[in-house]
Structure 1
Amino acid sequence: MLENLDALLLARIQFGFTIAFHIIFPALSIGLASYLAVLEGLWLWTGREVYLRLFKYWIKIFAVTFGMGVVSGVVMSYQFGTNWSVFSDKTGPILGPLMGYEVLTAFFLEAGFLGVMLFGMNRVGKGLHYFATLMVAVGTVISAFWILSVNSWMQTPAGYAFNAAGQFVPDDWWAIVFNPSFPYRLVHMVLAAYLTTAFVVGAVGAYHLLRERGNEAARIMFSMAMWMAAIVAPIQAVVGDFHGLNTLEHQPAKVAAMEGHYETGRGMPLILFGLPDSEAGEVDYSLEIPRLGSLILTHSWDGEVPGLDNWSREDWPNVPVVFWSFRVMVGIGFLMIGTGLASLYLRWRHRLYQAPGFHRWVMLMGPSGIVAVLAGWFVTEIGRQPYTVYGLLRTSESVSPIGAPGVAISLLAFIVAYAIIFGAGVYYMLKQMGKSPTPEEPETQAPEDFTRTAGLMPGPALQQKHSQSVPQPEYKE
């Protein structure tokens, strides 16, 4: 049975499965690291204990998220060697150094300060601990910088040449790193990470507000999340428009699949919904807005929009998947904008914390950022097909010379391992989110408190009793 399976298809499924798991955790890590830096900064600035309480509440969730992101990221490099060795050989002279820069500048920075951030609250000064938190937050963004530079180069390759062995070699590192789609992709992804985190935080805040309307910590986290939604979601829409225009310039076939345009034409409609039929070359049961597609893509009512008829069938991406993934991402984006606007209205009416219906809606929107990130990556990666390096290296030419049974067995192993490991991690995160950040939450113990708890030193009560029953010696200066 396994011999009848396609090794290329299985390798693509395996990579898609693992990267879909992986991208969730870095997105949350980027947002949570910055959120923790803001919380600790507000605590140091205002002295309000509630900010410190929220910091300790979310740092536990961040630690698990960061750990799962690191573990799932290791699998990516493993697969490059096993399933995509030809791709690794062809692109190694360019992508290898970029990945190395990510380790040297970002991962070492995060790892160096993460321990201080997680366990150093009562062991170092406030200033040094806050500096460690800032460095972890900066490290997550630097990591995104290099990883997205790698991915963007695969989408819009630049600054390269070919050697005698047919490998991509660097010709201009500045052009490689800052390739045409990189600035748009970086800003779009970082904002997506912030929005993803904001709606997770907002959902947790809404949950605890429904249980206890006067919960101060829940009010603060909910308010901060809604400010983020109200401000960043509209900005993300503008950034997404610029990113789309850049994609139209450099990857027009991807945009044609996103829009469901099988034929080139002027004054093209915006297809809201429909069922793409690549065999017939049309979108069935389409709901359209006339000329709006040309207006959005060309800023002209009669602008010409390229269709998939400009490329041979073998160069088409999977149109239905790209078409619907794009609509899921954009639809969630509009829901986020609407949620942010609704929060502004409720805030203006002084009812932000007295609107249980809105709180339930925000709870439903909690995982929306994760879904939008996944949909966006489906558009990005599946829309690039059938290439790994767009227009230059086909996916079928990138796979390792490995049999289908080997790929199938490793895929099954990954599914089982991910279900157990990441299932446990997500369960812990949800359990932690279900706890209310109340003042009764135990404080992190200082070293002397730990020794007392471990029985190595008498506690305060025992010390007092001992001092009353045993004469204490007098010491003179």
Structure 2
Amino acid sequence: MDSALSIHRLHFAFTITYHYIFPQLTMGLAPLIVIFKSLALRTGDERYNIASRFWAKIFAINFLFGVITGVPMEFQFGTNWAMFSQYAGGVIATALAMEGVFAFFLESSFLGVFLFGEKRVGPRVHWLAAFMVFAGSWLSGFFIIVTNAWMQHPVGYEIAADGTAHLNSFGSLLFNEWAVWQYLHTMGGALVTGSFAMAALGAFYLLSRKQEEYGRMFVRLGVIVAVLASIFQLWPSGDRHGQLVAKYQPITLAAMEGLFKTQQGAPIVLIGQPDME
């Protein structure tokens, strides 16, 4: 039993880790593309439109791989965690269904307009398409985080006579304290990822003396957003989320810190192997 459980955990961990590589970048690039489109709309400078088109292609590729790698992950709720799905399906299926019906279709529909409709719609409509892609990607992340937050700190449910969990407060599910701060911290991480990717490519352009004008543009925007997002990751989002872990999952926090006994002034462990003996 233990070996089978470990294999299931390892299988799901690989699937979800590999999947998250792609949506993390798409959610980070989406607001940066909107910034370029906003600058193009305000200044009329075609360079910003060219920059947004370039990053939209990278966004689209990552979006596609995110969809492909996300499908097996959802199937594994049934194949790897069938008993959990049977018990909690009445709650988590609500958030997952909303992610698919609202967020995914919103993002994918306007992505088509943004990628292929620039010459068919006006500049303001094209900007709106870019903004809706951004809104859809972040809304998708919200519903996924809501699902995970319920698994970490379940609220707004009751146990039915058949022993399964049923939702009794939709508002509690959506505005779970854990979900709010986990969502903010996750989106901040996505911004850090997207902005560093943009700045890295810009730095490559500058060092190779190719497309230096766009290289400076990418580095400038990427570094500014990366600095602001990194500060936000430390405080308040990271600090507050850490407090929630300490409040609701003290054993998890102890495992994260490699601690086995409660103590005052515990040292900060950056890297190491805990002594399990």
Is 1:251 aligned with 2:249? yes
* CA–CA separation in structure 2 for the residues paired with 1:119 and 1:214: 25
Task: Report how far residue 214 of structure 1 moved.
Answer: 7.3
Code of the aligned partner of 1:270: I
* 2:268 corresponding residue in structure 1: 270
Q: Is the 8 Å Cα contact of residues 50 and 216 (structure 1) preserved in structure 2?
A: no
Q: SS in structure 2 opposite 1:271?
A: coil
* 2:45 corresponding residue in structure 1: 48
**1:22-421 equivalent positions in 2, closer than 5 A:** 22-212=19-209, 215-238=212-235, 239-279=237-277
Q: Measured at CA, do residues 205 and 92 of structure 1 come closer, stay the same or move farther in structure 2, by a change above 3 Å?
A: same
* CA–CA separation in structure 1 for the residues paired with 2:176 and 2:143: 12
* 1:14 corresponding residue in structure 2: 11
Q: Is the 8 Å Cα contact of residues 191 and 226 (structure 2) preserved in structure 1?
A: no
Q: Is the 8 Å Cα contact of residues 29 and 65 (structure 1) preserved in structure 2?
A: yes
Task: Report how far residue 70 of structure 1 moved.
Answer: 1.0
Q: Which runs of 5+ in 2 are unaligned?
A: none
CA RMSD of aligned residues (A): 1.6
Code of the aligned partner of 1:192: G
Q: SS in structure 1 opposite 2:261?
A: coil
* CA–CA separation in structure 2 for the residues paired with 1:65 and 1:267: 43
| Structure with more helix by fraction | 2
Q: Which structure has the bigger radius of gyration?
A: 1
Q: Measured at CA, do residues 97 and 207 of structure 1 come closer, stay the same or move farther in structure 2, by a change above 3 Å?
A: same
* CA–CA separation in structure 1 for the residues paired with 2:253 and 2:38: 42
Q: Is the 8 Å Cα contact of residues 153 and 177 (structure 1) preserved in structure 2?
A: no
Aligned length: 276
* CA–CA separation in structure 2 for the residues paired with 1:124 and 1:53: 17
* CA–CA separation in structure 2 for the residues paired with 1:214 and 1:137: 26
* CA–CA separation in structure 2 for the residues paired with 1:79 and 1:244: 29
Code of the aligned partner of 1:225: G
Code of the aligned partner of 2:139: I
Task: Report how far residue 53 of structure 1 moved.
Answer: 1.4
* CA–CA separation in structure 1 for the residues paired with 2:160 and 2:109: 38
After superposing on structure 2, the runs of 4+ consecutive aligned residues of structure 1 that deviate more than 6 Å are none
Q: Is the 8 Å Cα contact of residues 37 and 127 (structure 2) preserved in structure 1?
A: yes
* CA–CA separation in structure 1 for the residues paired with 2:76 and 2:182: 24
Q: Is the 8 Å Cα contact of residues 189 and 229 (structure 2) preserved in structure 1?
A: no
Offset from partner CA, 1:17-40 (integer Å, 9 cap, x none): 110111111111111111111111
Q: SS in structure 1 opposite 2:10?
A: helix
Quote the sequence identity (%). Answer: 39
Task: Report how far residue 207 of structure 1 moved.
Answer: 0.4
Q: Which runs of 5+ in 1 are unaligned?
A: 280-477
| Structure with more strand by fraction | 1
Code of the aligned partner of 1:248: A
Q: Is the 8 Å Cα contact of residues 80 and 88 (structure 1) preserved in structure 2?
A: yes
Greater mean deviation of Cα atoms: 26-35 or 172-181: 172-181
